[in-house]
Structures are given as C-alpha cells and as structure tokens.
Amino acid sequence: MDELTFQPVLGPIVLSIVFAAALLMLWIGPSFSKITNSRRITLSLIRLGVIGLAFLAMLRPGCVQKIEKSQSAVLLFLIDASRSMELPHIADDSTRWGTVMEMVNANQSRLKQLAENKIDVRFFTFDNQNQPVEVEDGVVNLPDNPEGSETDIGTAIYETSMDVRDQRLLGVFVATDCVQNVLDPEVELSQAAEALADMEVPLIGVQLGSASDSGQLADISITNFAEQQVVNKKNDLITRVTVVSRGFPNQDITLQLLVSDSAGNESVVANQIYRPSSSYEEANVELKYRPTEPGEFRIKVRALPMPGERALRNNELDGFLTVRDKGMRVLFLNGSVGNEQRFLRDSLSVIDFIEMDFQPIYTFKNARDQDWPIKRFEEDFIDPKKYDVFILCNVDSRALYDASHTTSLQALADAVAAGKGLLMLGGPHSFGAGLYQETPLKGILPIEMKPTERQEYDQDVRKDLHINTPFKVTPTMDHFLTRISGSGNNKQAWEKLPPLVGANRIKVKDTATVYLQSDDNVKRPILASSTINGRVLVFAGDSSWRWKRYRFASEYDQFWRQVILWLAGWDNKNDESVSIELPKRRFSPKALVNFDVSVNTIAGAAVDGVNFESVLIKPDGQSDVITINQVGEKYQSELDPESLAEPGLYKIQVAASRDGASIGNSEREFVVMDRDKEKSNPMANPEQLKKLTSQTSKFGGKTIGPEQVSEILDVYINDPPMTKIEVPLKWRLGESFPSAALFLGAFVALLGTEWLLRKKWGLV
C-alpha cells in the first residue's frame, strides 16, 4: 500500500460533531444497573464497534498502489493502394507505387531494429477500405499492384489509429498523393487529423506524385459534355465541351466529335482546334454538326493525345444524340401578363418534339406609341419552314397590323391558307375587341365581329364583350379535341372541371364548328374552328389554367396538347408510342440503374393494360431478361448492378403489347464508363497533405518525401521511447462487492450480537 486516501461523505467539522454526538449518547446511554460491570462493558464495546464502523463508512477509506507495467509502442504506416498509385511520381518514369516499394525495401533493416526495441510497426494499405499487411522479419508483404477504385484517406487514418488508442501510439505515417475522391467518406480528412491531435500523436505525410503547377506533368481532360442531346434532322447541333489543359501553353489541341452508326463504326463529324494561352486553363469549346438521318446515335468528344501525356482515360467522354425526323415549332405571341399564357407554356414545353418561341408584346403606352405596329414577325409568318402553329394570346391587332405600314397579318393569313395552324385565345384585346374585324384575319377566323367591338387601352374592360359570371364548359361532340379522359367517360370528366371565371362573347359563323360551349341554357360557344387549308381555332376563355391549379392537371395538359397537335394536323399521327425514360446515360461499373417505361398517345395520355417483353443487351452480345413492374401509374424497372460490371455500350430493348396486339417497340442505349477516376487526374495534392499534417505539427506532424522516412525511423531507433509506465491500482471501501458485503456483514453481526445479549440478560 503506497498511499492511504479518504473520501468522506461529510465535511470534517460536521463529521466530528456527528462522531462526538454518537460517543456522548454512548456515555449517557440507558442504565445498566441491573447487570454486572463485565456485561455492561461488553455491551458498550459492541456499541462502540457499531459507531466505529459507521464512522468508517462515512470516511470511505481507500488505498492507491502503483506498479510498473510494460507498455507496447505502436507505429502505423498507411499506404495508399488505389490505382492512382500507378501514375507518375515525378518527372522521370517512376510510378508512385514503385516509389513506395523502394521506400519500404530501403528500410527493412530499420523495421527489424524497431521490432527489437519493442516498437510494433504495423502496415496497412487503403483505398476505400483498410487492409492489414503482414510484416515478417522486416519484410513488408505489399501487393504487387495497387487496385483500389477510390481513395478515402480520412477514414483510413481514423479507424487504424482508434484501434490502438489503448496502446502507446508513437506516430502515423501516411504515404499518398492525397487526392481523396470517395463520394461520401465516413470520416472527413480534418476530423481524422483532429483525432490524432487530441491523442497528441504526430501525422507524418509522405508525399507521392507532383502537383499540377509543378510543370512536371501534362494533361488534357474533357470534364463536361452533355449526356443526352436532341436535334431535328438537317438542323445544326452545337455542342459545348469543357476542356482542362495542363502543361500545353500556346500549343494546338485538336478536339473531335465522333458519331457511331448502328454497327458501332465511328466517324469524325467535326474538328475544332483549341489553343490554351497559359500552362493551366479551363475553357468551353463549341463543336458544330448537322445530322442528315434520324435515329438514336452514340456520340463522343475526344481530345487527341498530346506529347508527354500520361493519363489518357480522361481525354474523351461519351454521350447520346437523338435526331428527330420532324419536330413541331410554335410561335407564341402574348399581349399581357397572366396565368393563362404561363400555364399553357408550361404544359406544352414538356412535349419533347415541340419547340416553342415565346414572344411577349409590351402594351404600355410608350411601347404602343413608338414600336407599334411591330414588323419583325412578318418574316416569321412568311417563312414556310420556320413555324407550324401560331398562337395569339390577348394580342391587340394594332400591335401587328396597320394597313398603311405593315402587312404582317396578311402574311399570317397567307400562312394559314398554305396549311399552318392558328390559335387565338380569349382576352380583353382578342377577337373584335382587338379590332381583328379590320384585318386580313377577319376572313379566316370562325367568328363574326362587328365594327363597334373595340376595347381601348387604359379604359375599363367592356362588360358587353365578355361573360362575367363563372360557368362550366361541355363538349358538343366526341372529337379528338374534346377527349380528356382515358377511362372513356368523357362527359363526366368535363363535368368535374372547375368553372371558367370569364370569357369573350363570340358569335360563330355558320360555317364554323363548335366543340365546346357553356353548360347553361344559353349554350355560348367557347371553342370553335374553321378550316381554310390550314386549321384555325378560337378559345373564348381566359381562365382554363384553373383546371390545372385545382387538381385536374392531366385533363388540362391533354386538352391543350391535343389542341396544338390538331392545329398542326398531327391528330392522326402516331396514335400510341413506347418510350424508355433513362435520366442518365453514363454510369460507373456496377451502378444502380433505374428506368421508367411509358406508353402514351401522341397527346401525352397514358395507355393502361400494357404487357412488356424487355431485355438488356450487354457489350459482349449476351442478354438478360428485364422485369418491368407497374408502380402506381408508371412502369418501372431496376437493373441488376452485377450485370453492369463490364465497361462498354449497353442497350435496353422493350416491346409493348395490349390484349395480344403489338403497340410498339423502343430501345435506349447507355454507357458504363471505362473511365477510372483514380487515373483520370494525374495531379497530386501536396497542399492538402500539408494542411492535414499541420494539424498535428505541435506534436511533430509534418510532410516529407519518401527518402526522408529513414531519418525519422533512425530517431526512434537511436532514442527509443520509454516502454515502462506506472499503473495505479485503486481500492476503496464499498466500491467493490466483496468489501461492501464484508462491511455490511460486520455491521449486522455487531448489531445482532448486541440485541441477543440484551435479550439473554433480560434487558429487552
């Protein structure tokens, strides 16, 4: 026993008072006149023993004994074993892994001496996991080649150091290029270094590889290229590529755009020379290509290798191109801000074959006085190849037409006569209120307009030209334009729609066809058409957006998409189509790939009751059957990651049928990248390593070169740390079960003995 200690439950003054009071009570205790002196002394001694035990319990005595114990000292070596270690170390031909092997072999004798000095040197390799490495008689059995797919430095440092936290950790060596590329590390770099600092352990970084600004490495990298692009046949595809160049100032770098045909044969379709002005530069370069045939194509952008480049995997990037046989272009002219135009644009913009040009026409007084009539749209109306459908939303005719200044609306009327579609939507300045009765559109619109119908700007809206009470609309016939329900109960679907809150009062011509009318006794026309080679529609309402706002989005979208398709003459085209929705087209090996399959009418309405046969075609030509399940209103599938292990081109093929009849087929290609992120960037990050080791600089942490490792090991050999420590062994009354039980037994024994004696002697 080296030291006796006490932990009293009360302060010394209080404890003294309690003890004195107990002794006083013993002194003035009950009379023992009935017993002999020997019996009186016996009882007093027993009671004094009880008081002594109670006082001992309040003092809580203990002892501390110090013994000398051997402690193992540990030195950790963490070796980066990711594939980036195959990249150059410095300007010569040495690799980072070769440098590690040389460093370890050069220190074999030192490792043996450290073991003799009772210093346990432990080696680990790491990528995104840690692997212990055997060390036998100073020989470290490192793998022949580094094969890790990604680097997680912080987790490696933290986990290995925490495993020896109950031992004496002398230091942690980490040999790495310090390029951490794991997406979601368990432990961040700074947290790992902070844990070592808390343990007062130095982190010694062994720098491998050269920095990007060292001038020793050169590289061209394609860092950004769109995965999926769409263009119409015989239109220009202008694709943008982000290029990062290192080490090639004022040198010509050739960029190529390549297209693969169905047989996989590549051809160069565009070239562009890029000349960086500095040793490090990031730039966007455009490549232009005009496809002549429709279809799905695999495209690739490539930077031709430059002299001295060591990492070539990042010189190219794959993508996919959809070339459409024919698209639809819509010119949307809007005369006022409002929900109708906004909701309509949002609905049409999601149809991939519709390209919309939205042109606002400003109606404030200064614009009217100086800019009207606007002449720039006349060329758009005249060009027969530019637009298929024209939309006028609350556009006053005076914005476009003045018989003495412009023939814009005559050009629009001629375009409709030549087969183009025209839609005029309701609004305060539409139809007669917008003075279209004084324009060439008078003859092609399906409504009659009077000279007195005129809405002046900056005046209250004329109530006699508008329906000012809410009303619902109902179809007058079963027609492509009025089918908004996939279930077949079309009339009920229209009855459920919220009412319109306003519309223009229109009177249709005898030759017009009315498709929608108000659901009241008046039966006011709302949607009417006329055909003058091209198709013309007028929609008198201006608040159909309420359908979408109040939970009838699918009905709203289907109605307006059918309107545009009908105007373009596409109402009988491609009744149903199968499409594969694959959000991404580039994946890493064994990635999780999900895709949706949809079967829709050309207006976007979903087709139910579909059966699928689907396969995945692998790069080697083998195929796996794919299961497609219906989830809610969608058809979805998930590919087995193990089937995507090999890099290359994959193809999903889907055949759809309903009630035994074929609906259609679809296929979609994607690429599993043969682009090793460990080798895509040849540059090391020494600044990151210095920042990391500096967190333990107070305890000897620093960054060194591989050749300096031997100097630090010599310090441990020549001045070995103490391996003996004093370990205190502590004991305190009552903290262990035996001592508590012994004390309680003695206390109860004394009290029991005292009671038995008093009973025997007739004192109770």
Judge whether 78 and 122 are in contact, CB under 8 Å: no
CA 187 to chain CA centroid, Å, is: 20
Q: Is 59 a residue whose pLDDT tops 90?
A: no
Rounded to an integer, the average pLDDT of 281-309 is 86
The amino acid at 126: F
**What are the φ and ψ backbone dihedral angles of 409, each rounded to 5 degrees?**
-70, -25
pLDDT score for 159: 93
- Mapped onto helix, strand or coil, the DSSP state of residue 57 is helix
Q: Is 295 a residue whose pLDDT tops 70?
A: yes
Return residue ranges of the chain for CATH 2.60.40.10.
219-324
Domain spanning 219-324, CATH class: mainly beta
Rounded to 10 degrees, the C-alpha dihedral 658/659/660/665 comes to -10
Q: How far apart are CA 455 and CA 628, in angstroms?
A: 57
Q: How far apart are CA 366 and CA 180, in angstroms?
A: 59
Judge whether 127 and 149 are in contact, CB under 8 Å: yes
User: Residues of the chain with pLDDT > 90: what percent?
Assistant: 29
Which CATH number does the domain 73-214+683-722 belong to among 3.30.70.890, 3.40.50.410, 1.10.8.60, 3.40.50.150? 3.40.50.410
Return residue ranges of the chain for CATH 2.60.40.1930.
576-672
Return residue ranges of the chain for CATH 3.40.50.410.
73-214+683-722
| Cβ neighbours around 585 below 10 Å, total | 17
Tokens for 570, please give them. 């596409």
Mean pLDDT of the residues in the chain: 84
Q: Is 91 a residue whose pLDDT tops 70?
A: no
Q: Is 65 a residue whose pLDDT tops 80?
A: no
Highest mean pLDDT among 135-149, 252-266, 498-512 belongs to: 498-512
Return residue ranges of the chain for CATH 3.40.50.880.
328-566
Q: At what angle do helices 12-27 and 37-59 cross, to 10 degrees?
A: 170
Across 47-56, 243-252, 599-608, 651-660, least confident range: 599-608
pLDDT classification of 515: cutoffs 50, 70, 90: very high
| pLDDT tens, residue by residue, 659-681 | 877 877 888 888 887 655 655 66
CA 313 to chain CA centroid, Å, is: 24
Q: How far apart are CA 439 and CA 484, in angstroms?
A: 34
Q: At what angle do helices 153-162 and 189-198 cross, to 10 degrees?
A: 30
Domain spanning 328-566, CATH class: alpha beta
pLDDT score for 565: 86
| pLDDT tens, residue by residue, 128-150 | 889 999 988 778 999 988 888 78
The domain at 576-672 falls in which architecture?
Sandwich (2.60)
Q: Global pTM?
A: 0.46
